[in-house]
Structure 1
Amino acid sequence: MARDIVIWPHKVLTTSTQPVTDFGPALETLLQEMSEAMAEAKGIGIAANQVGVPLRVAIVGREDGTQFEIVNPQLLSKEGSVKLEEGCLSVPDVWEKCPRVERVKVRYQDKTAQWHELEAEGRLAHVLQHEIDHLDGHVFVDHLSSLKRTLILDRMKKLQKSLARRKEEPSEGKGTKRS
């Protein structure tokens, strides 16, 4: 079952995540739930803290529609600079040009604890940076001007309040009596 996606500025999104040390069934379950949440939201990447779990694990989507997990990733090198349109599942309906680097080299583990190195450019480099930022406690709006960040923050706080109200409202047919 897919987990709910946490909305920024929730504390779990602004705090560095903890390294994964248990590569057992719990990690497999978490990855499945993250994948389902990402698919439901039509995303191209998701970090564990976006579903409220403060672990250093993310799913990264490739341009061909496939995806892979990165566990305990480390950015080894960065080259070039580019500004690309960026959005985030935890900052819904917001798209802004965000400064990033063009090429990255990343070292990470997969779900079986095997280490890999990957050099990426273009969209894949972009998604890797976005997800690793999440794991380091940063959201893409941190790269924007303070004015844009403040405007987006106001929108997200209103959205959080609206979502909280919806959760408090009784659902039809779920044990509530109406007269």
Structure 2
Amino acid sequence: MARDIVIWPHKVLTSATKPVTDFGPALEKLLEEMAESMKEAKGIGIAANQVGEALRMAWVGREDGTFFEIINPEVLERSGKVTWEEGCLSVPDEWHKVERYEKVKVRYQDKTGQWHEVAAEGKLAHVFQHEIDHLDGHVFVDHLSSLKRTLIQERMKKLQKMLKRKKD
């Protein structure tokens, strides 16, 4: 079952997540719920804290439309600079240019606990960085000017209030 996506600036999105240590059935269930939430929202990635779980895990979308889980990821190498038009499921209807690294090398575990290393560039490198930022307690608006961030924050707080009224 899909979970609601948390809207920024909720505290769970602004705090670093905890490492995953239990690779059992609860992890599998959370990954399924995250995937459903991401697909419903038509996203290309989602971090656990975006569905309210402060765990260091995310789904990352490839350019071919497939997805894979990254658990306890760390960026090992970064190079080059590129600017992308970026949006976020937790900051709906906001798209802004963000500077990222063009290439990254990432080490992560899969749902069985196996370690992997991937060198990525282009859109995949972008999605890796966006999702790992989430796990570190950052959203893409942290890369924007304070004026833009403040304006977006005001809009998101209004959206949070509207969604809360709708739920009640």
TM-score above 0.5, yes or no? yes
Confirm whether residue 5 of structure 1 aligns to residue 8 of structure 2. Answer: no
Structure showing the higher strand proportion among its residues: 2
1:41-71 C-alpha deviation (Å, 9 max, x unpaired): 0000000000000000000000101000000
| d(CA) in 2 for partners of 1:28, 1:22 | 10
TM-score normalised over the length of structure 1: 0.93
- Which secondary structure does the structure 2 equivalent of 1:21 belong to? coil
Q: Deviations over 1:20-41 (max 9, x none)?
A: 0000000000000000000000
Structure 2 gap segments, 5+ residues each? none
CA–CA separation in structure 1 for the residues paired with 2:16 and 2:149:
20
TM superposition shift of 1:5: 0.2
Q: Which amino acid aligns with 1:3?
A: R
Report the counterpart of residue 176 of structure 1 in structure 2: none
Task: Indicate the structure (1 or 2) with the bigger Cα radius of gyration.
Answer: 1
Any residues of structure 2 matched to 1:23-172 within 5 Å, and which? Answer: 23-168=23-168
TM-score scaled by structure 2?
1.00
Deviation at 1:106, TM superposition (A): 0.3
- Offset at residue 98 of structure 1 (A): 0.5
Tell me, what secondary structure is at the counterpart of 1:102? strand
Three-state SS of the structure 1 residue aligned to 2:27 is helix
Corresponding residue SS for 2:46: strand
Q: Deviations over 1:96-131 (max 9, x none)?
A: 000100000000000000000000000000000000
> What's the RMSD between the two structures over aligned residues?
0.3
- The residue type equivalent to 2:107 in the other structure is R
Per the TM alignment, residue 6 of structure 1 is displaced from its structure 2 partner at its CA by 0.1
Letter in 1 for 2:11: K
State the AA in 2 paired with 1:38.
Answer: M
Partner Cα separation in structure 2 for residue 155 and residue 81 of structure 1: 29
- Could you tell me how far apart the structure 1 residues matched to 2:54 and 2:161 are? 23
How many matched pairs? 168
**Aligned partners of 2:143 and 2:101: how far apart in 1?**
12
**Aligned partner letter, 2:147:** L
Q: CA deviation at 1:74?
A: 0.4
Distance 1:81 1:164 in 2: 39
| Deviant stretches of 4+, over 6 Å | none
- Note the C-alpha offset of 1:81: 0.6
